[in-house]
Amino acid sequence: MSENLTKLIATLTSVAQDGKLAIAYSGGVDSTILKEVALLAGLDVLPLTFDLDKSMEIEEVRNNDRERCYYCKSLMMRSLKAEAISRGYNVLCDGTNADDLGEYRPGLRALKENGVISPIALTGLTKAELRSIGRELSLDAADKPSSPCLLTRFPYDTPVSKEMLSAVAAAEDMVKSAGTDNCRVRIFGNLSLIELPKDILGSYNFSDSLKNDLLSILSPIGVSNIEIDPKGLRSGRMDEQGEQNG
């Protein structure tokens, strides 16, 4: 057993109450590996999910406010904490890692306010170190691409609807089906920029047929032009314009 896995198990064991803890579970890399390590530690684990559509009822979220992550996380963690307690689990954990602590993450404030514990970050583990633990445990999630919130595909202060989010999700699925497991479809008014992993930029077949199919998905939300971003896939694309992370 690796040192990092041993340390994470020790952290989980120390924060659990009566050997029990609930986990805010999204099915992403962090929460999936956290859940499996907690089970390996012999804890009674309750994974809890949250319907993100509920967050679209919040004005700041719909407007893609700079603080929208705070408002969304506040609603999410209040709801999950209440459910956990009602089911006899007094400790709620999430998958925040050490890398997240150094980025612009308004949602971190909501975690603190709602008494949510972040065992991965507490252990000091980065995303790469957590993925290494996942590989040690032969978990598929270890090599799963990160999937930031779809609101990060739009600039801050751009009003966003459920239909716009659904269109972007469908467009990303289509891009992936044409030859990649990771991409971002960013929306800038009538322009959509597609980010692809840099190692496939030269070989990805962005055919006229694919472009037309994507336009059929994105034109209802105002997109009239689609281009491949020559800089490739990178986290924090919107931050380059002082707008956001994702």
Residue 147 clears pLDDT 80, i.e. is over it: yes
How many Å apart are CA 84 and CA 162, to the nearest integer? 28
Report the half-sphere exposure of 157 (CA within 13 A, side-chain side).
Answer: 3
Q: Is the pTM of this model over 0.75?
A: yes
DSSP codes of every residue in 189-214: TTEEEEE--GGGTTT----HHHHHHH
Distance between first and last Cα of the chain = 33
Q: Which residues of 13-42 are buried (b: 16+ CB within 10 A; e: fewer)?
A: eebbeeebbbbbbbeebbbbbbbbbbeebe
Q: What is the pLDDT of residues 52-77, one digit of tens each?
A: 999 999 999 999 999 999 999 999 99
Residue 219 clears pLDDT 90, i.e. is over it: yes
Residue 241 clears pLDDT 80, i.e. is over it: no
